[in-house]
Structure 1
Amino acid sequence: AWSETPAAKFKVRGTKYLQDRIKVPSEASAFHLLCVDLVKVNQPIFTGLCSHPNERIQRALAKERETGLRILPDFVFAVNLCVPGKSYYHWVAYFGVDDIQMIKTQETPLGRVANPFFFGPSDEFRSKVFKLIPRIVEGNFVVKKAVGSKPSILGRKLKQYYIQNERFMELIVDIGSDCMAQRIVKLALGYAKTLEVDMMFLLEGVHPSMLPERILGGVRMINID
């Protein structure tokens, strides 16, 4: 099962963080959680599920073209964690924003970091700012210790792929590209049926004009089976 986690429960970099290192509760998530999929495949799909004709985003876009009705939000952000094993799994959380100007504007701290992240040309920039805050709400002590709760720039250790489109962006994290990440995920999967895990996604404010930070979206996974 899954649910949306309130962003205000998590602290992010405040307005003057680069000087005073003070974190503050996040504003409400910029995006809202649409759904979560778990897809089993024989080989990883690093071209993304949002571009796959049989998956939900392309089906919805096709329906929009047929009917002339708006089915999807203005813009969808999909976070796709590719988990290796005997079979591969794609865990995909889909988040939507109803007003695309929120992430395009240069007038807000969020917009100043979100615009180049979602619409700019630099994968290097994307890899430097995409951040995860994990939290084990319920679960084994060993897993809690291994996962921790510190914000992490995933692109420092893990290979990431980006699929850009005017209506969506999909970020694919290859868990198999780092041995330590593989071990932690394998450990967590061993206790998956007893875990409650929060995952909050945001962009790091690397310049005063990009602060305070704001969580893009979050999800709680409950007793993953």
Structure 2
Amino acid sequence: MAGSDGKNESEWIRRVKSGGAVPFLEQDSCQNGWTTPSADKFLVRGPNYLSDRVKTPAGDFLLMPLGFDWVKGPAKISEILNDPTSRVKNVIEEEFHNSETKPFIWAFNLQLPHRDNYSAVAYFAATEPIPEGSLMDRFLKGDEVFKKSRLKLIANIVKGPWIVRKAVGEQAICIIGRALSCKYISGESFVEIDVDIGSSMVASAIVHLAFGYITTLTVDIAFLIEGQTEAELPEQLLGAVRFSELQPDSAMPMEQCSATICTNSERSSWWKSIGHGFSNLIHQDSANMDRKEDGKDVQKQ
């Protein structure tokens, strides 16, 4: 179930890849676009991690890279794959309307804390049946407690100003459900995870800071299910996406019938929390300025 190399892609896959607001580009020339980074750019728990705590470069992806959306709306965008205007959903329904089987889609919707309600959405596809009893299968069938304790995100700042790289670290790793509020939406042939980055004061502050430099940033983000037993190791990446030098004005407007619009008081309170989080972030960074750097960031989970 490795990622596609693009040589034998179906027409519907090419349509999804090229149909978003920002183009799909080659890895070495990704400006104001998105692409798939190399899996070995990410460090994951190795086969003997429980005893030696050693992380190793990731192997191939479990899922095929499918698409990326850079969208904004009048309210926080959620449940994209349940929305009748979803371009990914419509392409798949058009292609497979007479088929008994559809590709299984994984969507990761990163809801950014911003007045214009931006979302960066990465789509991946399983074109073969997910093995019974595998970690992916258990995640899909598991309850919300299991999902919250297992879904992991790894973020690398490939290119960007020092202040953003300092705030994020060399490789930021977190269990998404423990750090942020998430909504898990499951359908017959898809799962979508809506990640509310604004639900964490510190995460809000970091993203608010990074957004000011978004037109100069290149970011790699990978998703995986954490391996916690020997049988679940080494960890394997579900998929990864790189977006580079995104232009806020290029985000595709998206209207949602079911969108919930914040009141003015809620919006004001939310932006105050970002301000407090940003202040805490700067305070923590200033306190560490005098520490001698050894050239490596300590990874925390």
* TM-score (normalizing by structure 2): 0.67
- 2:84 matched to 1:53? yes
Q: 1:162 aligns with which of 176, 184, 199?
A: 184
* Alpha-carbon distance in structure 1 between the residues aligned to 2:132 and 2:41: 26
Q: 1:86 aligns with which of 111, 115, 131?
A: 115
Query: Could you say what secondary structure the match of 2:80 adopts?
Result: coil
Query: Shift in Å at residue 190 of structure 1?
Result: 0.5
Query: Could you say what secondary structure the match of 1:50 adopts?
Result: helix
Q: Cα distance 1:32–1:65, how it changes in 2: closer, same or farther (>3 A)?
A: closer
* Alpha-carbon distance in structure 2 between the residues aligned to 1:76 and 1:65: 13
Tell me the number of residue pairs that the alignment of Structure 1 and Structure 2 aligns. Answer: 214
Q: What residue in structure 2 maps to residue 105 of structure 1?
A: 132
* Alpha-carbon distance in structure 1 between the residues aligned to 2:129 and 2:183: 22
4+ aligned runs moved over 4 Å, structure 1: none
Residues 125-164 of structure 1 correspond to what in structure 2 (within 5 A)? 125-148=146-169, 149-164=171-186
Query: Shift in Å at residue 73 of structure 1?
Result: 6.0
* Alpha-carbon distance in structure 1 between the residues aligned to 2:64 and 2:37: 10
Q: Is the 8 A contact 1:73 1:96 kept in 2?
A: no
Query: Could you say what secondary structure the match of 1:152 adopts?
Result: strand
Query: Could you say what secondary structure the match of 1:160 adopts?
Result: strand
* Alpha-carbon distance in structure 2 between the residues aligned to 1:11 and 1:90: 26
Residues 1-225 of structure 1 correspond to what in structure 2 (within 5 A)? 1-46=33-78, 48-64=79-95, 66=97, 68=98, 74-101=103-130, 104-106=131-133, 111=134, 113-120=135-142, 122-148=143-169, 149-225=171-247
Query: Could you say what secondary structure the match of 1:193 adopts?
Result: helix
Give structure 1 stretches of 5+ with no counterpart. none
Q: Which has the higher contact order (CA 8 A, sep 6+)?
A: 1
* Alpha-carbon distance in structure 1 between the residues aligned to 2:83 and 2:96: 16
Q: Cα distance 1:55–1:134, how it changes in 2: closer, same or farther (>3 A)?
A: same
Q: Cα distance 1:197–1:160, how it changes in 2: closer, same or farther (>3 A)?
A: same
Q: Is the 8 A contact 1:10 1:26 kept in 2?
A: yes
Query: Could you say what secondary structure the match of 2:204 adopts?
Result: helix
* TM-score (normalizing by structure 1): 0.89
Q: Is the 8 A contact 1:7 1:28 kept in 2?
A: yes
Q: Cα distance 1:73–1:21, how it changes in 2: closer, same or farther (>3 A)?
A: farther
Q: Is the 8 A contact 1:130 1:203 kept in 2?
A: yes
Q: Is the 8 A contact 2:96 2:102 kept in 1?
A: no
Q: Cα distance 1:212–1:196, how it changes in 2: closer, same or farther (>3 A)?
A: same
**Residue identity matched to 2:83:** H
Query: Shift in Å at residue 98 of structure 1?
Result: 1.3
Query: Shift in Å at residue 69 of structure 1?
Result: 5.2
